[in-house]
Amino acid sequence: MDKIIIQGGQRLFGTIPVSGAKNAALTLLPCALLTDEPLTLRNLPRLADIDGFQHLMNQFGISTTIAGSRPEDFGRVMTLAATRITSSVAPYELVRKMRASILVLGPMLARMGEATVSLPGGCAIGNRPIDLHLKALEALGATIEMAAGYVRAIAPDGGLPGGRYSFPVVSVGATENALMAAATARGKSTLHNAAREPEIVDLCNLLVAMGAQIEGIGSSDLTIHGVPRLHGATYRVMPDRIEAGSYACAAAITGGEVTLTGTRIEEMDATIQALRSAGVHVEPRADGLHVASDGKLRAVTLATAPYPGFATDMQAQLMALLCLAEGSSVLTETIFENRYMHVPELNRMGARIETSGRTAIVHGVGKLYGAEVMATDLRASMSLVIAGLAAEGETQVHRLYHLDRGYERLEEKLSLLGAQVERVGGE
């Protein structure tokens, strides 16, 4: 099993491009199920999760072709053609490793009138039931059956009629599934308390480019007027705001100066404010975001929240940064109940972090020390890399398959900034 070896203490300096957003791409790919015409996605990141989703789409009989596959390129162009769907079943062996697989449920139901999907897997960061996905689809007119670890959704004859659903809590995935299912419903659908994340906006924009009629894009109240059919489109995946925030933390903890090109600062306001509160200099540039730090970091207090609040996907990376801040920081995780699994590993590196329920208190220390650490999930993995970049000595991060799910060619980008990192094969 591969691991990454980091020789800490190098100040990061330079410019790197921000890749296409993993969380957006995994939502846009299943839109190919909604039309029999080709869908071309540009700026698609090279990630294990993207490869896994491609295999899932192939399982349904969808052809996929890839351009921009040169080893030196970041990002790819993929064209998906669902001219004929040969299966409406997403099997366990493909779904179990990737929670985003549940996002085929809505579009497959809309296209084929039924869909059967294994209960999904993904990072072990807490209980993430799919009940809101199912309730939203039921509100649009579907019948839901569950048996032997699979969910089966069935539309009435003539297709989904559409309907109204108010989410009791904000759910990004359930909003996405409902949007795709409603796009070709026979009537109007309304979604209240819908998620507002930029990835939701990206999905809406692609659906509109395919001929969907959606009102309220960017708000928590969405109205979808179902259309008889959608057509193909060519669309560019939005930049990854979480990747950009992660590299900003890496630059800051090393006292570095990094320009992140191709990002959208208006989608990163909560992350930028958190970094500035911690004493990091962040300013917009014509080509992206400029991050600089003198290494003198301040403690902060904040809580994760649905967009436009501070993203739960940035909590671990900010925590790593705050390990070297002066004073004690207080972080509260409101989204997932088991997202502090990186804490013991950071403490192995000399951090002083205490947790109680959903609250973590990070007592700043003067120095971190390299150690062998184990990645437990995607964002936790990046927090260990960030800590290792600033640590004294050598850090070895094991279980790189987590990082490969969400960070495109991580070690190459870090090397471009002057970090001493190396990927080596495990035993």
Q: 363-403, pLDDT tens digit by residue?
A: 999 999 999 999 988 899 999 999 999 999 999 999 988 89
Runs of H (alpha helix) within 140-234: 172-182, 198-209
Preceding peptide of 38 cis, ω within 30° = no
Q: Is 123 a catalytic residue?
A: yes
The pLDDT tens digits for 151-185 are: 999 999 999 999 999 999 999 999 999 999 999 99
The H or E element that residue 114 is part of is: strand 114-118
Least confident of 97-101, 225-229, 271-275: 97-101
Q: How far apart are the C-alpha atoms of 124 and 65, rounded to whole Å? A: 32
Q: Tell me what percent of the residues of the chain surpass a pLDDT of 90.
A: 85
Domain boundary among 177, 201, 236: 236
Mean pLDDT of the chain: 94
| 59 & 7 share domain | no
Which runs of E-coded beta strand occur in 327-414? 328-332, 352-356, 359-363, 372-374, 394-398
The stretch 255-282 carries a mean pLDDT of 97
pLDDT at 232 over 80: yes
335 is in an annotated binding site: yes
137 is in an annotated binding site: no
pLDDT for 426 equals 63
CA 403 → CA 84, 296, 410, distances in Å? 34, 28, 8
| DSSP SS3 for 17 | strand
125 is in an annotated binding site: no
pLDDT at 327 over 60: yes
For residue 147, name the pLDDT band (cuts at 50, 70, 90).
confident
Choosing from 31, 123, 204, 323, the catalytic residue is 123
pLDDT for 122 equals 42
Domain count, the chain: 2
What residues pair up with 353 in beta bridges, in sequence order?
A: 362
pLDDT at 413 over 70: yes
Tokens (6 digits) for 234: 């060519």
240 is in an annotated binding site: no
| 33 & 138 share domain | yes
pLDDT for 73 equals 67
CA 125 → CA 121, 312, 335, 361, 369, distances in Å? 11, 11, 10, 19, 26
Q: Supply the range of the domain harboring residue 290.
A: 3-18+239-424
pLDDT at 2 over 90: no
Q: How far apart are the C-alpha atoms of 340 and 355, rounded to whole Å? A: 8
| 373 & 410 share domain | yes
130 is in an annotated binding site: yes
| 7 & 105 share domain | no
Higher pLDDT, 101 or 336: 101
CATH number of the structural domain spanning residue 336: 3.65.10.10
| 294 & 388 share domain | yes
Q: How far apart are the C-alpha atoms of 98 and 345, rounded to whole Å? A: 24
For residue 71, name the pLDDT band (cuts at 50, 70, 90).
low
Runs of H (alpha helix) within 16-130: 22-28, 48-59, 92-95, 105-112
pLDDT for 129 equals 74
- In three-state form (DSSP H/G/I as H, E/B as E, the rest C), the secondary structure along 22-36 is HHHHHHHHHHHHHCC
Cβ atoms of 218 and 231 within 8 Å: the answer is no
The pLDDT tens digits for 178-209 are: 999 999 999 999 999 999 999 999 999 999 99
Chain centroid, CA 169 distance in Å: 19
128 is in an annotated binding site: yes
pLDDT for 128 equals 47
132 is in an annotated binding site: yes
Tokens (6 digits) for 311: 């993203």
| 179 & 253 share domain | no
| 110 & 222 share domain | yes
pLDDT at 427 over 90: no
- Amino acid letter for position 256: G
- Amino acid letter for position 51: D
Q: How far apart are the C-alpha atoms of 102 and 174, rounded to whole Å? A: 9
Domain boundary among 190, 205, 236: 236
The pLDDT tens digits for 110-135 are: 999 999 998 875 434 334 478 999 99
| 224 & 359 share domain | no
Residue 153 CB burial class (10 angstroms; 0-12, 13-18, ≥19): buried
Domain boundary among 236, 251, 269: 236
| 39 & 147 share domain | yes
pLDDT for 125 equals 32
| 99 & 137 share domain | yes
Chain centroid, CA 339 distance in Å: 15
pLDDT at 36 over 60: yes
| 202 & 294 share domain | no
pLDDT at 245 over 60: yes
The side-by-side arrangement of strands in the sheet containing 164-166 is 164-166, 188-192, 221-225, 213-215
